[in-house]
Amino acid sequence: MIITYHGADFFKVTFGDTTLAVNPISKDSPVKSTRFGSDITLVSLLNSPEHNGTDVTSRGEKESFIINGPGEYEVRGVFIKGFLSKSSYGGEERINTIYTINLEGITLCFFGALGDEKIPANVVEAIDGVDILFVPIGGDGVLSPAVAHKLALQFEPKLIIPSHYGEVGEKDALKKFLKEAGEEKAESLDKLTIKKKDLEGKEGEVTVLQQI
């Protein structure tokens, strides 16, 4: 599995001949967007050009399968669950969808533009056995660095990957998050290539992905 980061809360996940786009940035956003064809596109926050860029994930005759809300889905043998949560990104409260995906024996969890740390108990219980957690840290409608780290640890992930910093969110959000985690020297990668066995022995480690 190969994971790359494309700004805001936008990630690309590739495994075998299948590609997922999670929270792609629309070409209508002032934030730089990356275009690539994906088999499946996940959108956490509707009506947000930083999260609903389905216009950048279909290419030629290849139409991406769009998932944009809570529910259970199976696409191309991939099992995906979406859970209801809240965000205030953009200045108003709105529905945010947290997604879990199981790929190659690894459970990925994407918080999207989560802004409310008070996730319903039934959702917390349902999100079990997270291996890699993707958490927004930029404040301004999503989780702040301190709250993001505290909440992330509650899910006991093996790896934590921060998002929503740089062009979006508060200044120095990444620096503050790494300080909260006690990982100012956390590894920074241009891409994460990982297998299930690579996660053995890890507990809440932070990995920073450089924006492509």
Longest CA pairwise span in the chain (Å): 47
Length of the chain as a residue count: 212
pLDDT classification of 171: cutoffs 50, 70, 90: confident
DSSP designation for 8: T
Number of domains in the chain: 1
Residues 22-27 have a mean pLDDT of 96
Convert the pLDDT of each residue in 49-71 to its tens digit.
999 999 999 877 778 999 999 99
pLDDT at residue 186, rounded to an integer: 84
The pTM of the full predicted model, rounded to 2 decimals, is 0.97
Q: b vs e for 14-49, b when ≥16 Cβ sit within 10 Å of the residue's Cβ?
A: beeeebbbbbbbbeebebebbebebbbbbbbbeebb
Convert the pLDDT of each residue in 68-113 to its tens digit.
999 999 999 999 999 999 999 989 999 999 999 999 999 999 999 9
Residues 6 or more apart from 184 whose CB is under 8 A from it? 175, 178
Task: Provide, rounded to the nearest whole percent, the portion of the chain with pLDDT above 70.
Answer: 100
pLDDT classification of 33: cutoffs 50, 70, 90: confident
pLDDT classification of 14: cutoffs 50, 70, 90: very high
What is the extent of the structural domain holding 104?
A: 2-195+202-209
pLDDT at residue 193, rounded to an integer: 98
We report the CATH number of the domain holding residue 184 as 3.60.15.10
**In 23-178, at which residue ranges do the beta strands (DSSP E only) sit?**
40-42, 65-67, 71-75, 78-87, 94-103, 106-110, 132-136, 159-163
